[in-house]
Each structure stands twice: as C-alpha cells, then as structure tokens.
Chains A and B, each alone.
Chain A
Amino acid sequence: DTGVSQNPRHKITKRGQNVTFRCDPISEHNRLYWYRQTLGQGPEFLTYFQNEAQLEKSRLLSDRFSAERPKGSFSTLEIQRTEQGDSAMYLCASSFLNLERDRGRDGYTFGSGTRLTVV
C-alpha cells in the first residue's frame, strides 16, 4: 500500500462545469476525510466518512458539493456548477477508527491533493 492516492493531481475547468475528484485511502483505514486548502491558509475540514456513512459535513460544503464513499472504500467529491471561488487544493486523508489508538504514533495520512483551477 503506497498511501492515500488522489486523482487527478490537477484539474482546470471552466466556470459552470462539473468536476469530480477521486480518493483511494489506505486500505485498512475506515475513516476518510476531505479538506480544502486555499492559498496562504491551512486545510479546512469539509466532510468525513466512517466506512460508507457520511457522518459530518462542514458549513463550507454548499449544496453544489457532494461526496460519496460507496462500499466504504474509495471516495469521490463532486462539485457542480463550479465557481472561481472553488479554486483550491482538495485534500483527502484517511485514519483508523479511533485516533487515540494512534496517538503519539500517527495522525491522519493525507494524499497529495487535487489542485482545482476554475477559469
């Protein structure tokens, strides 16, 4: 297992188009997170899944955003009717169920991200 994989690495799209990103987490991790990072800022939480269930969504996740994790494996993040303000790095991360078990040893494992540019 080579870690968390995200595709594509870069995406340029015209305003109003729909885009979909994919994340493949570490296979034994059952929690999967999506974060967004804009220039000069730290990552901001968007949503997370425990297995296939989406358990929490940030207010940043407008109704144009939808995330899925069918069968509790890979996840997709779709943005409909993209706007220029959606331009950002979208980061996926995965972890074990219980972060306490990994305290002092590990935090999340992040992927390299998908950089979205809306023109």
Chain B
Amino acid sequence: DQQVKQNSPSLSVQEGRISILNCDYTNSMFDYFLWYKKYPAEGPTFLISISSIKDKNEDGRFTVFLNKSAKHLSLHIVPSQPGDSAVYFCAASESSGSARQLTFGSGTQLTVLP
C-alpha cells in the first residue's frame, strides 16, 4: 500500500514555462513534506520542505503548496530551466515517528526542453 503517490511518471515542459509536479498521500499522520531532486548516478538532494501548519513555502524558483484536506501537495518550478531536468521525489514523515524516516513516492521524471 503506497502511502505517498506520484501518479505522473514523467513530465515535459518548455524552458521558461512553469513545471507542476503533483503528489498525493494517504496517511493523515504525515505532517512534514519534502521534495528531493535526483540526477542519474547521484543520491537524492533536498530541494524544499513544508510543515503541515503551512499551506505554502517558497524558495526562489521553487514553491511547494500543501492542501491538507485533499492530502495533496505540489511543487511549482518557475521558470523552468534545462538544468532542472531530473527525477523529483515527494517524501513525507510523521513528527511522532522516532526515526524521522521518510516515505517516498515513486518519482516524476521532469524534462525541460530548451
């Protein structure tokens, strides 16, 4: 049973346009959400996070939106650049969990076309 789902395995966007990556979760105990970016042959790198007490967090070109009632979050990249082409993973964790383990989605391959 996948607790974090990324239903779009891939997304192509033209350079300069907006990229929107989506993520859904089922576990209502999740209260902290993160996005990671992964290039081939490298480990995931942290991109941006959001606590469940917020509905938006912005960092430069990256904005994460959280809709708790819908159990949905999205990552917006504006403007998209070719260097943003990578696999993006959504992840979630529970504050009550002692391990702070992250539950990841299966990822979305973003391709930004020049």
Contact = CB atoms under 8 A, between A and B. Distances in A.
A107 B43 contact: no
Among A44, A48, A99, A106, the one with the most B-chain Cβ atoms within 10 Å of its Cβ is A99
Contacts of A100: 95
Contacts of A107: 34, 36, 46, 49, 91, 102
Interface stretch (A62-70, A74-82, A110-118): A110-118
A48 B101 contact: yes
Contacts of A109: 46
Interface string A74-114: 00000000000000000101010001100110111111110
Contacts of A106: 46
Given A31-B100, A45-B102, A108 B107 contact: no
A43 B44 contact: yes
A110 to B, nearest CB: 3
A18 to B, nearest CB: 24
B32 A108 contact: no
A99 B104 contact: no
B45 interface: yes
A10 to B, nearest CB: 10
A76 B49 CA distance: 29
B57 A108 contact: no
Contacts of B70: none
Contacts of A4: 43
Interface in B21-65: 32, 34, 36, 41-46, 49, 51, 57
A24 B68 CA distance: 37
B91 A55 contact: no
Given A111-B43, A112-B42, A112-B43, 18 more contacts: A4-B43, A40-B107, A42-B4, A42-B91, A43-B44, A43-B104, A45-B99, A45-B102, A48-B99, A95-B100, A100-B95, A103-B32, A103-B51, A104-B49, A104-B51, A107-B46, A109-B46, A110-B44
5 contacts: A33-B101, A41-B107, A42-B105, A45-B101, A56-B101
